[in-house]
A and B are shown apart, each in its own frame.
Chain A
Amino acid sequence: MAEVVLRDVCKRYGSYNAVDNVNLTIRDKEFLVLVGPSGCGKSTTLRMIAGLEDISDGTIAIGDQTVNDLPPRDRDIAMVFQNYALYQHMTVYDNLAFGLRNRKVSEDIIKTEIDRAVDILGLRDLLKRKPRELSGGQQQRVALGRCIVRNAKVFLFDEPLSNLDAKLRAHMRLELKRLHRRVETTAVYVTHDQVEAMTLGDRVVVMNNSRIEQVGTPWEIYSRPSTRFVASFIGSPAMNFLDGKVKRNGSGYHIHAPGGAFHVSNESARGLVGQDGRDVIVGLRPEHIRLHDSKTDNALHGRVELTEQLGAEQLVEVIAEGARIMVSRVEAERELKPGTPVYLTVEPGQLRYFDQATEQALA
């Protein structure tokens, strides 16, 4: 039960910055997810919190204590690893008891703690087995159990679900969420999967190129991405980016984009003030685009290139003046032959704008 504070944290390997000046406060009892592509520094950040990597610069504090020089065993943390890292030569019971025995907890208390964890996770029948006799999902539960019995101040998760198949992953995601509601502990969770990040996190930290791009609730990250990278990384299918030109026009703005133009009224023109005459990147989420068969105002004109039938919906790729635009949530039964002319419209408030040079969101 503690806050974790990272102040100006850096990790350097020679001249390479693996983690560059990270400032972050993880609140008490919060479930915080670090997400980003591989090599973005998220795992290194987690391993520095755990004490498995030295900190090159800056400080990390858990609770009121600066832990820079503490070895992992003295940090009062628990961690779940990608491949579970169960002790292969010990039974499930001994795996769960190992951390407590190292801390000289009496066997009676160990038994009570393990009983509690076993009930939460449904491991009762597996206690005498060795890890290699368990399925992937069961091993995953034992790894979680090892965390629960420890009553540590902070739980760390390093891509714990990525070795599971898709179905089991979705199931374990729910279990993790339920678990965190029962065992209220500060948790830091690293993943490269944006769905995990959105569904699990109280707050999400998006990292890229060793830096933090944005910190916010899943909804904030999705609806107000602060950079083009965040906008493209979060959301599936990924956001469309079009080159656009802004023109001031009486009651609002005109955004010229490939295949047409959108009119944006003053009320929904957040971010466009002062951009008159400038080139910007316009971001449209595929799920916000509507497809029309006939000519419509405020629409981009294009032709259907490909369709992907998903059963519940269709994904449609439209080409407008050479630009590719993905459209999702198209009714599954609608017939769209390649080459069909279509018109794309968007609620003006749902458009996002990014600076062409800095790729920062305009707001």
Chain B
Amino acid sequence: MSLASSGSSLPRRTGLFDMLRPGARAAFMTLAVSAVLLLFLAPIIILVVTSLRPGWGVYYIYRGTEFTLANYVEVFQRGVVIEAFFNSFLVATAATVLSLGVTVTSGYMLSRFKGWLPKTWFTSIYVFRTVPYISWVLPLYVVNESLGLYDTFFGILAAHVAVHVCFFSWIMKGFFDGIDPSMEYAAMIDGCTRWGAFRRVALPAAGPAIAALGILSWLWTWNEFLFALILTGNRTPLLTVTMAQFVTELGTEWNLMSAMAVMAMIPAVIITLFAQKYVIQGLRI
């Protein structure tokens, strides 16, 4: 009794927000949400609107009412654009499959074993993850050129798999840390080899998480710019670099560039809309 009364007589620290009436509070929340939506959506909307305006109309996109799909048609009449889309799709898909395949066992090893070898390997990937990309892609350009791999599918693919080795090993370790190893012990007692226990029990259990990482990996490769800029040229045009060239060569043709950017954005939008749960799961660190 005495406790209760003394408790209620304590002055409660009251913030500005609490002094507002409920109606004002709701208004504040609405305002905050609208601000967030505006900040993150406005540039995208501007891009989409620009892509739908005729070439002469982009300079007052906020006023005009003429809309057209001609920009998309025109963009696709350029051979390099279709080639770039195709190449980027191929590189993203192949890089994702290879990166996941190469790193899944590495992450498993880091998660399941103790001793000097895992410790050394973990330190290595930690160190190599901090190395700026340009510091190894620049000499890789020289290597590729001397091996005849410059501007080839394989040359760019190798860089994309290499860049994922450290990060994915680390992420995959986290996935396997979340899976109880006793399932694999049970499998080994049930007649599996170490490899069998990994392949038939641990791997299926980590499946959803790996798929989530795969989606992100695909998008990251699709969006990647620096490797493409340094390691590819005219023979293997990639999406991002082709798009950037619109800026320089056709600096004023914002309508076409926007159309291409919108097309390039489609996978990201689809994934965000339909695989959001997976994406958020894969982003965990």
Which residues from A are CB-within-8-Å of B191? 73, 99, 102-103
A73 to B192, CA, bound (A): 6
Which residues from A are CB-within-8-Å of B180? 83, 85
B201 A81 Cβ-Cβ under 8 A? no
A73 B186 Cβ-Cβ under 8 A? no
B185 CB–A CB distance under 8 Å: yes
State the Cβ distance, B202 to closest chain A Cβ, in Å. Answer: 10
State the Cβ distance, A21 to closest chain B Cβ, in Å. Answer: 24
- Given the known interface contacts A87-B201, A89-B204, A89-B205, the answer about A73 and B182 at a Cβ–Cβ threshold of 8 Å is no
A229 CB–B CB distance under 8 Å: no
Count of chain B residues with a beta carbon within 8 Å of a chain A beta carbon: 18
Contact residues of B between 198 and 224, Cβ < 8 Å to A: 201, 204-205, 207
Residue of A nearest to B196 (CB): A102
A82 B182 Cβ-Cβ under 8 A? yes
Residue of A nearest to B201 (CB): A87
The interface centre, meaning the residue of A51, A75, A78, A79 with most chain B CB atoms within 10 A of its CB, is A79
Q: Which among B182, B192, B204 is the interface contact of A102 at CB below 8 angstroms?
A: B192
B192 A81 Cβ-Cβ under 8 A? no
A79 to B204, CA, bound (A): 22
B188 A52 Cβ-Cβ under 8 A? yes
B188 A73 Cβ-Cβ under 8 A? yes
- Given the known interface contacts A72-B185, A81-B182, the answer about A99 and B190 at a Cβ–Cβ threshold of 8 Å is yes
- Given the known interface contacts A87-B201, A89-B205, the answer about A81 and B185 at a Cβ–Cβ threshold of 8 Å is yes
State the Cβ distance, B198 to closest chain A Cβ, in Å. Answer: 13
A339 CB–B CB distance under 8 Å: no
Q: Contact size class for A?
A: 20 to 34
A79 to B192, CA, bound (A): 14
Which residues from A are CB-within-8-Å of B182? 81-83, 85
- Given the known interface contacts A71-B193, A73-B193, the answer about A85 and B183 at a Cβ–Cβ threshold of 8 Å is yes
- Given the known interface contacts A73-B190, A73-B193, the answer about A87 and B185 at a Cβ–Cβ threshold of 8 Å is no
Which residues from B are CB-within-8-Å of A88? 183, 204-205
The A contact surface, by secondary structure, is loop
A77 CB–B CB distance under 8 Å: yes
A78 B205 Cβ-Cβ under 8 A? no
A72 to B182, CA, bound (A): 13
State the Cβ distance, A143 to closest chain B Cβ, in Å. Answer: 8
Residue of B nearest to A50 (CB): B189
A99 to B192, CA, bound (A): 8
A103 to B190, CA, bound (A): 8
B190 A98 Cβ-Cβ under 8 A? yes
A78 B183 Cβ-Cβ under 8 A? no
State the Cβ distance, A1 to closest chain B Cβ, in Å. Answer: 18
A50 B204 Cβ-Cβ under 8 A? no
State the Cβ distance, A153 to closest chain B Cβ, in Å. Answer: 12
B205 A73 Cβ-Cβ under 8 A? no
Residue of B nearest to A80 (CB): B186
A87 to B184, CA, bound (A): 9
B187 CB–A CB distance under 8 Å: yes
A285 CB–B CB distance under 8 Å: no
A85 B193 Cβ-Cβ under 8 A? no
- Given the known interface contacts A73-B193, A87-B201, A88-B205, the answer about A81 and B188 at a Cβ–Cβ threshold of 8 Å is no
A278 to B204, CA, bound (A): 66
Contact residues of A between 51 and 88, Cβ < 8 Å to B: 51-52, 71-73, 75, 77-79, 81-83, 85-88
Which residues from B are CB-within-8-Å of A98? 187, 190
Contact residues of A between 19 and 60, Cβ < 8 Å to B: 50-52
Contact residues of A between 80 and 108, Cβ < 8 Å to B: 81-83, 85-89, 98-99, 102-103
Residue of A nearest to B185 (CB): A52
A256 CB–B CB distance under 8 Å: no
The interface centre, meaning the residue of B185, B187, B191, B193 with most chain A CB atoms within 10 A of its CB, is B191
Which residues from B are CB-within-8-Å of A85? 180, 182-183, 185-186
Residue of B nearest to A52 (CB): B185
- Among all A-B residue pairs, the 3 with the closest Cβ atoms: A102-B191, A99-B190, A85-B182
- 30 A-B pairs in the complex with CB atoms less than 8 angstroms apart: A51-B189, A52-B185, A71-B188, A71-B193, A72-B185, A72-B189, A73-B189, A73-B191, A73-B192, A75-B189, A78-B189, A79-B185, A82-B182, A83-B180, A85-B180, A85-B185, A86-B183, A86-B186, A87-B186, A87-B187, A88-B183, A88-B205, A89-B204, A89-B205, A98-B187, A99-B191, A102-B190, A102-B191, A102-B192, A103-B191
On B, residues with C-beta under 8 Å from A are 180, 182-183, 185-194, 196, 201, 204-205, 207
Q: A50-B189, A73-B193 are in contact. List 5 more A-B contacts (CB 8 A).
A: A51-B189, A79-B189, A83-B182, A86-B183, A146-B186
